[in-house]
Amino acid sequence: MSKKAFDMIAEGLNEALAISRGQSKPARLYVPAEIDVKAIRDKTALSQGDFAAAFGFTVHQVRQWEQGRNRPTGGIRAYLMVIDENPSEILALLRSATGSARKAA
């Protein structure tokens, strides 16, 4: 192994340790490959149709994700992570943005 390769690996390991110890923030957002859409929707206590309407999805998308026929793509997975973290706040932001857009039109 070359010195350069070793140094890069060591740097990555040191960064990982600092992140795990809370001494540093990750440089990139980690978006998991799998998202449990049903668990996120259950947190909101919304039906598939209401969840889809509230967050800008189609009912078909929500059903496909929950039944495992399709997976949300990268940007949608990140959006679902935000919804999962605080669904009521995201709903309030979306309602506020919708109200502002109607006033401007």
Look at residue 51 in the predicted model and tell me its pLDDT. Answer: 97
Look at residue 1 in the predicted model and tell me its pLDDT. Answer: 64
Residues 35 and 73 in one domain: yes
Q: What is the CATH number of the domain that holds 38?
A: 1.10.260.40
The answer as to whether 72 is a domain residue is: yes
Residue 66 scores a pLDDT above 90: yes
Q: The tokens of 76 are what?
A: 């949608």
Q: The tokens of 59 are what?
A: 């009912």
Residues 46 and 71 in one domain: yes
Q: Could you give the CA distance from residue 43 to residue 71 in angstroms, rounded to a whole number? A: 19
The answer as to whether 105 is a domain residue is: no
Q: The tokens of 100 are what?
A: 């502002």
The larger pLDDT score, comparing residue 6 to residue 104, is at: 6
Residues 71 and 88 in one domain: yes
Look at residue 70 in the predicted model and tell me its pLDDT. Answer: 94
Q: Check if the beta carbon of residue 44 is closer than 8 Å to that of residue 90.
A: no
Scanning the chain, the segments in alpha helix (DSSP H) are: 3-20, 37-44, 48-55, 59-66, 74-85, 87-104
Residues of the domain holding 13: 1-29
Q: Would the pTM count as exceeding 0.85?
A: no
Domain count for the chain, please give it.
Answer: 2
